[in-house]
Amino acid sequence: MTNEINYLRILEHPNMLRFEELYEDENYIHIITELLNAGTVSDKNQKKMTVFEACFVLKSVLELLVYLAENCIAHRDIKPGNIMFHRTKDNKVICKLIDFGLCADTKDKSNTTLLKDRAGTVCYLAPELIECNPEKGYYETKVDVFSISMVFWELLTGKNPIRVPRRKGEQRRKSKEYRWVQLIWLTAG
């Protein structure tokens, strides 16, 4: 939670959740943020989005990812459930990324564990996060570009291109078996 609070305090962008205040008592830490009132991309993605709607989500998140990359920050948990909509008083819809608890500073190589460990939701993870091979070095903010591409595909097709088999009694995130379904890329022609 400390990680998320720190990043919410120092980062500011129109397409990310806005931090307001922090209150602590003897039992809890209370984070006050802006109210996002129009649900998540997951809520809206019960059926495929139109190309226009999916491009709106993609553009919004990519604008934030440029800002994060300029600040050497990897979000590491981009998924439909972490992308929310907000409807303003003048009826404008804004798309915002939330959940900064897994963020990592990619320029700080002193924290070798953080930039070599697997973090995020399995079916949105970049290959270098799935492999988690410390000998191959650190990963960078590019892992978020892979994640948003998986989200974009899902918004357009209604399905994530990565399937993670689940064995009886095994948690999905502990499974090391990943199977890519055939990707069909549509080209204009």
CB 72 within 8 A of CB 115: no
43, 77, 90, 105: the catalytic one is: 77
What is the DSSP code string of 24-93?
E-SS-EEEEEPPP-S-BHHHHTTSPPPHHHHHHHHHHHHHHHHHHHHTTEE-----GGGEEEEE-TTS-E
- Closest by Cα among 158, 146, 138, 188 to 54: 158
Known active-site residue 99 = no
Catalytic residue IDs: 77
